[in-house]
Structure formats: structure tokens, C-alpha cells
């Protein structure tokens, strides 16, 4: 009997040990979500009382572990993110292109219609009636969106957006069928095809985001407070290079500008098909915003379409973090990844618009508040209103 116990007990102890190790590993995996074989710490938590970013007039941007007690003016309110920034200080005021001086030329009396013209007029009435029925159906569908934004009229916003698009094309394109360049703002060339991506139901491309980022840098960050150069915005094309090409990271980045930075905005374009042709324009599948805080070595992710267990995106994000960590001139130490709660999009088209809205909202807080939180969980965004606002900004730039 003693011999039997002597043989069995060690085996039971070993089994208990392996069960204990497995349980501990399982508990850890439920806290840290990351692809296998990675040294990057992922944490998908919805942070409510996170650390605050404060502005010190002698040091610039700093971080404190004390949660902010300040309530942002736009919390709980619906906005498009862009409207918070003082665009009117730098761009020409909006004008109504449809308004013009009254024409006092007398009109001749109308000629009587021929039979052919009468038939055409009758057919035109039928076409217009069909159009009115179609527009009425669209308006009924838009009423669903009005329940989310009570004081916003999506049908009218779409009509104004399309009308403004047509006005810009008419002013800048001699041949509407060709992809004409309509605007050159510093290094960003905007074409008619780029403008089409701002219309409702379209997916924003690199150029749309790059234009707004360049505007924010030139108009607000460079004219901002003393240490506003500690905020940097990187183009989507540069982030794409960092994620998918094995070149030396420091040779791609504007290292001299980033050396003094503390908060870097990264528009991230995730690609579902890993073997996609990266040279094709607008080939991504989803936009998210990353804010790299060198104050606490954390990459904060704002995803307007959060999906649990998105392994493909996490693999790409891991590669980006590893590339950033390899740039020792800028990043000192190991980076953490934190997913923050934000307003969620209601369709598959507005992810790029959310990147712009959240960027502008946070930039305004950083430039005009002495204490702010990166938590925007209580801020509601209106992407259709943002599309209209972007189109208006482009119209004002063309007039400048």
C-alpha cells in the first residue's frame, strides 16, 4: 500500500501543478489581449477615470495620475469635431455662391409651345414626379438619423453637400469628366476624385485626411501656444510605410521634429488582406486613430468600430508598435497599447471621418485647455455634418 501511494502521489502533484499554471495563464490572457509571441502589451479596457494631460507654461505638456475633474464643454453634446477650432481666424468667410446681383434685363414674352415641346414638357413632369417620390423615400430614411441628432436635418445636409460639390467642380474643372487638380495646399494636391470621397456614402482616402492634418498643423499648431510643437500629426501614407515596409524607421520619420514631441497623432489604415497591393490608392479596410503619448509610453487607440478578437488588426498594430520602439531617438522604452472608448459609427463608410473628428476635437482641447483627459467616451460625433464642414473648408480654401 505504501509503495502504491509513493508511486501515485507525485503524479497527482504534477497534474495539480500543471492545472494551476494553466489557470494562471488563462487569467492573464483575459487581461492582456495580444497576438502570440509578442512583447507588446495590449489592453482593451474602457477607461473612464484615466490620467490627465496638463499644460505647464514652463515645460509644456505633462501627465498626472490624478484624474481630471474638469468637464469638457462638448461632453454629452453632438458636434463634428472640426467646429471647435477657430477656422474663421485664418480662412475667408463663407459666401453663398448661388447669390448674385439681380438681373434687371427685361425678359421677352414666351413663345407658344409646339406639339413636340408639349410632349417633352409632359414627359419631364413624369420624370420630376418620379424624382420627388424617390427624394421622399430618402427623406423618410434620413428621419431615422434625425432621432440620433434631433436638431440636425440629414436630408438637407446631403443636398447641400452635393450642391457644394457641384459648385466646386464647376469653378475648378474645365472638363468635369477628367480628374482635375482643384486645390494645392502646400504639399497636398487635392483632385476631383479626392473630393468625391467626401460625399455621403464614400470612404475617405489618404489625401482627405492629409489635407485636414496639414491645415491643422499650419493654421493652429504652428500658431498655437508656446509648446504646441510638442504635438505632431503624421500623414496616413507615412504610417502605411511604417506598418508594411521593412526599411529603417528613422529614415522615414521627420526625426528632428519628433525629438521634442510628446503627443503624436497616427491615422492608422488597417488592411484585412495581408497580401494586398499597397501601391494601390485607398486600398485599406478600416481607419482608426492612434495617439502616441511619449509622456507615459502608451499608444492610445480610438476605434469607431471596435471588434473583439480582431487578430488581423492586432498583428498589424503589433508591427507598428515594434517599428516605433525601434526608433530609439524618439521612443525610450517599451510601449503599451490601450484601447479607449469612443462614439461608434453607424455604417461602414465613416471611419475616416471619425479619425478627423476625434483628431480636431483633441487638438482643440490640447491647444486651448490647461487640463484635459484623453477620455472622450461621453462625446457624440456627427459624421455627416463633418463631411459637409470639410467640403465647406475646401470651398473656402479655393477662394483664398
| Domain residue extents for the chain | 43-93+205-376
Average pLDDT score over the chain: 81
Nearest Cα to 202, choosing from 321, 80, 95, 353? 353
Highest mean pLDDT among 2-6, 325-329, 353-357, 371-375: 353-357
Instruction: Say whether pLDDT at 154 is over 90.
Output: yes
Residue 309 has a pLDDT of 76
Average pLDDT of the residues in 103-131 = 61
Residue 190 has a pLDDT of 98
| DSSP three-state, residue 27 | helix
Summarised one tens digit per residue, pLDDT across range 262-312 is 999 999 999 876 555 555 545 678 999 999 999 999 999 999 999 887 788
179 band by pLDDT with thresholds 50, 70 and 90? very high
Q: How far apart are CA 207 and CA 214, in angstroms?
A: 10
Residue 144 has a pLDDT of 52
Summarised one tens digit per residue, pLDDT across range 155-171 is 999 999 999 999 999 99
Phi and psi angles of residue 257, each rounded to the nearest 5 degrees, phi first: -75, -30
Summarised one tens digit per residue, pLDDT across range 54-71 is 999 999 999 987 766 555
The more confidently predicted of residues 98 and 76 is 76
CB 188 within 8 A of CB 213: no
Instruction: Say whether pLDDT at 106 is over 70.
Output: no
Other C-beta atoms closer than 10 Å to the C-beta of 74 total 19
The more confidently predicted of residues 78 and 265 is 265
Q: How far apart are CA 16 and CA 5, in angstroms?
A: 16
Q: How far apart are CA 236 and CA 359, in angstroms?
A: 13
Instruction: Say whether pLDDT at 335 is over 90.
Output: yes
Summarised one tens digit per residue, pLDDT across range 302-321 is 999 998 877 888 899 999 99
Nearest Cα to 249, choosing from 317, 329, 314? 329
The more confidently predicted of residues 112 and 47 is 112
Radius of gyration of the chain from its Cα atoms, rounded to whole angstroms: 27
CB 321 within 8 A of CB 292: no
20 band by pLDDT with thresholds 50, 70 and 90? very low
Of 142-151, 167-176, 389-398, the poorest mean pLDDT is in 142-151
Q: How far apart are CA 109 and CA 392, in angstroms?
A: 39
Give the DSSP letter string of 268-292: EEE-SSTT--TTSTT--SEEEEEEE
32 band by pLDDT with thresholds 50, 70 and 90? very low
Homologous superfamily (CATH) of 43-93+205-376 is Adenoviral Proteinase; Chain A (3.40.395.10)
Of 28-37, 70-79, 325-334, 373-382, the poorest mean pLDDT is in 28-37
- Residue 211 makes CB contacts below 8 A (sequence gap 6+) with 183, 185, 188, 190, 194, 394
Instruction: Say whether pLDDT at 26 is over 50.
Output: no
Residue 268 has a pLDDT of 97
CB 364 within 8 A of CB 84: yes
Average pLDDT of the residues in 374-389 = 96
Average pLDDT of the residues in 337-364 = 96
Please report which helix (H) or strand (E) contains residue 265, including its range.
strand 263-270
Nearest Cα to 202, choosing from 192, 213, 189, 217? 192
Q: 356 to each of 126, 187, 325, how far by Cα in Å?
A: 42, 19, 25
Highest mean pLDDT among 25-34, 51-60, 134-143: 51-60
Amino acid at each position: 500500500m505504501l509503495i502504491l501511494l509513493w508511486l501515485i502521489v507525485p503524479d497527482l502533484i504534477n497534474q495539480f501543478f500543471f492545472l494551476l499554471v494553466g489557470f494562471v495563464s488563462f487569467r492573464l490572457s483575459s487581461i492582456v489581449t495580444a497576438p502570440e509571441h509578442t512583447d507588446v502589451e495590449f489592453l482593451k479596457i474602457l477607461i473612464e477615470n484615466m490620467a490627465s494631460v496638463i499644460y505647464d507654461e514652463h515645460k509644456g505638456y505633462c501627465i498626472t495620475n490624478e484624474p481630471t475633474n474638469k468637464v469638457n464643454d462638448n461632453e454629452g453634446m453632438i458636434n463634428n469635431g472640426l467646429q471647435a477650432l477657430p477656422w474663421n481666424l485664418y480662412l475667408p468667410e463663407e459666401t453663398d455662391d448661388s447669390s448674385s446681383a439681380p438681373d434687371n434685363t427685361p425678359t421677352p414674352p414666351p413663345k407658344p409651345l409646339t406639339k413636340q415641346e408639349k410632349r417633352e414638357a409632359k414627359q419631364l413632369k413624369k420624370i420630376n414626379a418620379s424624382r420627388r417620390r424617390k427624394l421622399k423615400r430618402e427623406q423618410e430614411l434620413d428621419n431615422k438619423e434625425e432621432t440620433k441628432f434631433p436638431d440636425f436635418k440629414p436630408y438637407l445636409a446631403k443636398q447641400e453637400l452635393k450642391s457644394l460639390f457641384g459648385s466646386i467642380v464647376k469653378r475648378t474643372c474645365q472638363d468635369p469628366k477628367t480628374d482635375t487638380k482643384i486645390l494645392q495646399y502646400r504639399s497636398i494636391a487635392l483632385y476631383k476624385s479626392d473630393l468625391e470621397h467626401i460625399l455621403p456614402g464614400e470612404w475617405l482616402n489618404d489625401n482627405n485626411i492629409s489635407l485636414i492634418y496639414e491645415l491643422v498643423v499650419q493654421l493652429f499648431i504652428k500658431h498655437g501656444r508656446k509648446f504646441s510643437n510638442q504635438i505632431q500629426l503624421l500623414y496616413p501614407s507615412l504610417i502605411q510605410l511604417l506598418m508594411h515596409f521593412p526599411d529603417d524607421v528613422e529614415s522615414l520619420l521627420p526625426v528632428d521634429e519628433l525629438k521634442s514631441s510628446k503627443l503624436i497623432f497616427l491615422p492608422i489604415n488597417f488592411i484585412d488582406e495581408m497580401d494586398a497591393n499597397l501601391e494601390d490608392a485607398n486600398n485599406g479596410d478600416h481607419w482608426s486613430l492612434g495617439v502616441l503619448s511619449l509622456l507615459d509610453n502608451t499608444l492610445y487607440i480610438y476605434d469607431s468600430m471596435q471588434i473583439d478578437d480582431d487578430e488581423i488588426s492586432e498583428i498589424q498594430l503589433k508591427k507598428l508598435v515594434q517599428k516605433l520602439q525601434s526608433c530609439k531617438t524618439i521612443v525610450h522604452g517599451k510601449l503599451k497599447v490601450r484601447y479607449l472608448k469612443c462614439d461608434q459609427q453607424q455604417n461602414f463608410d465613416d471611419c475616416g471621418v471619425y479619425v478627423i473628428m476625434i483628431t480636431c476635437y483633441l487638438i482643440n482641447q490640447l491647444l486651448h485647455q490647461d487640463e484635459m483627459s484623453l477620455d472622450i467616451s461621453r462625446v457624440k460625433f456627427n459624421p455627416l455634418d463633418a463631411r459637409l464642414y470639410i467640403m465647406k473648408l475646401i470651398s473656402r480654401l479655393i477662394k483664398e
